[in-house]
Amino acid sequence: MKYSKRFIRNFLLLLLKLLGICTRLLPWRLGVHFGGVLGTLAFYLLKRERKRSHEGLKVAFGGEKSDRALRIIARANFCNLGKGLIEILNLHTLNKKQLENYISLEGEEYLKAATVSGKGVILITGHIGNWELMAAALSMRGYRLHVIAAPLYDPRIDELIIRLRADFNVETISRGSPSSSRKILSVLKSKEILGLLIDQDTRVDGVFVNFFNKKAHTPAGAAQLALRSGAETMMCFVTRLPGDRHRITIEKPMHLYRSGNKNQDIENNTAMFTARIEEHVKQYPEQWVWMHRRWRTKPEEISRDRETR
């Protein structure tokens, strides 16, 4: 690793720890507000991420919103991410009652019914709102939750996030690890809950489906698991509300496409999940991670990769 990259990673890790320590001394709402200020500052300082956010917003809303409107959304997005970071770093300081005061839950009846169905539950969501907070809140309500997550670029930051999840009894299943497949099936057989985020372009088995009318390479794992396991499959979202409260919404179990054509069923169900995520992003565009390069992978790249195998 180059010295400059090592220095940046060490600096980021130290910064995260210092932010957690400093904001822990503040009242919760003031700490979250401070995170918003930091996020807004990052919007002006991080030129590359700001540019990527604008490019993503342009793909999604360029035909209906002005550049000024897109810039306002991007700035609000950075602000929300800054707030979310402080919430994640200090989440373990809240007790169950405090957490419930900040978070409401709609559609819990669907989740309760699904957990007793005997097939396990697959919860599908995206990187919108504070998804880490959602996992913690559901776990504190007594649900056994496991999340599939890709290892982060720095093992130390990865370990920090895993430990923060573990504080709320949320287990992290590291995607691609030797035991991940066995563990995933074990979770569903145990009638527990598996959480997946499927709205990023990552190097996993995927299919191309529409996301804001443009083909996006999308992880196929959720559809594969849902079809294979027979688990109840539901969409869920967490939304930041005025006053920095949050609303978790659990939706009715989805009826999967089952035509008998495995590949087509995987693509159709992945498209259905993605369309629902898109609808939510349209409602709350300032809460999605626009700096992620969602349309990075092109279909021809996948074709070339398969040909060289």
**Tens digit of pLDDT for each residue in 183-211?**
888 898 888 999 999 999 988 889 999 99
Please, what's the b/e burial string for 36-65 (b: 16 or more CB within 10 A of its CB; e: otherwise)? bebbbebbeeeeebbebbbbbbebbbeeeb
pLDDT of 303 reads: 56
| Total residue count of the chain as it appears in this document | 309
Residue 138 contacts residue 193 (beta carbons within 8 Å): yes
pLDDT of 309 reads: 46
**Tens digit of pLDDT for each residue in 64-96?**
999 999 999 999 999 999 999 999 999 888 888
Angle subtended at Cα 81 by Cα 28 and Cα 155, rounded to the nearest 5 degrees: 95
pLDDT of 227 reads: 95
pLDDT of 143 reads: 93
Residue 199 contacts residue 126 (beta carbons within 8 Å): yes
Q: What is the token pair recorded at 138?
A: 């559901």
Closest to 122 measured CA to CA, from 254, 219, 218: 254
Residue 130 contacts residue 246 (beta carbons within 8 Å): yes
Closest to 114 measured CA to CA, from 145, 70, 135, 89: 145
- Residue 112's SS3 state is helix
Closest to 217 measured CA to CA, from 197, 198, 242: 198
Q: Quote the radius of gyration of the chain (alpha carbons, Å).
A: 19
Q: Where are the domains of the chain?
A: 3-298
CA 158 to chain centre: 15
Q: Round to whole Å and give the CA distance between 262 and 269.
A: 11
pLDDT above 50 (res 103): yes
Closest to 98 measured CA to CA, from 28, 26, 19, 21: 28
Mean pLDDT, the chain, whole residue set:
90
CA 266 to chain centre: 21
Closest to 263 measured CA to CA, from 223, 303, 216: 223
pLDDT of 28 reads: 93
**Tens digit of pLDDT for each residue in 254-308?**
999 999 999 999 999 999 999 999 999 999 999 999 999 999 998 766 655 554 4
Where is pLDDT greater, at 181 or 215?
Answer: 215
pLDDT of 179 reads: 73
How large a percentage of the chain has pLDDT more than 70?
Answer: 94
Mean pLDDT of all residues in 159-176:
87
Indicate the pairing of strand 193-197 with strand 171-174. unpaired
Q: Round to whole Å and give the CA distance between 290 and 123.
A: 22
How large a percentage of the chain has pLDDT more than 90?
Answer: 67
Amino acid at 96: K
pLDDT of 305 reads: 56
The packing angle between helices 67-90 and 3-24, to 10°, is: 70
Residue 167 contacts residue 278 (beta carbons within 8 Å): no
